[in-house]
Amino acid sequence: MKKKERHQLLRKLVQQDVIRKQEDFVDKLHERGIEVTQATISRDIKELQLVKVPAQDGGYRYNLPPEMNYDISKKLSRLMRDAFVSIDTQREFVLIRTLPGNAFALGSLIETAKYSEMFGCVSGDDTVLVICRDEESAERFQRRIISFI
């Protein structure tokens, strides 16, 4: 797994799960079949500037730095204006093409936004495939994404 992909996954993990120790990251990645060492995670934490914040149930957990708890709509809008190439819908699938190297970031933002129309999302280098709940949801999602351009 490339560093950029791993960083994206680590950001997602701290938003979805309570990660208290570096070993928790290692365990979560191993569960996904990704071999990584604690030393690598330590470097990633520094590069991502993750911080420890009080957890609701006591103790501390990793979290994104305050400046990374961004307004998703603003980020989506900027990324769509800068990197959008095309969008197409077929049944419950929405395919978004971006300039090379931008689809991972776009997919991550879309997943973070947790739109109700969306069932799942898969990102490549220049393509994001969004699986919606049904055809009507796909059409709504397409209109929503186009509104960011």
Q: pLDDT value at position 82?
A: 93
DSSP H or E segment with residue 52: strand 51-54
CATH number, domain 3-67: 1.10.10.10
Does the pLDDT of residue 137 top 70, yes or no? Answer: yes
What is this structure's pTM? 0.56
Confidence grade of residue 112 (pLDDT, cut at 50, 70, 90): confident
pLDDT digits (tens, 9 = 90+) for 7-36: 999 999 998 889 999 999 999 999 999 999
Question: Where do the structural domains in the chain lie, given as residue ranges?
Answer: 3-67, 72-146
Residue, of 58 and 106, whose pLDDT is higher: 106
Structure tokens at 107: 């997919």
Does the pLDDT of residue 115 top 70, yes or no? Answer: yes
May I ask the CATH class of domain 72-146?
alpha beta
pLDDT digits (tens, 9 = 90+) for 43-90: 999 988 899 988 888 889 999 876 654 577 888 899 999 999 999 999
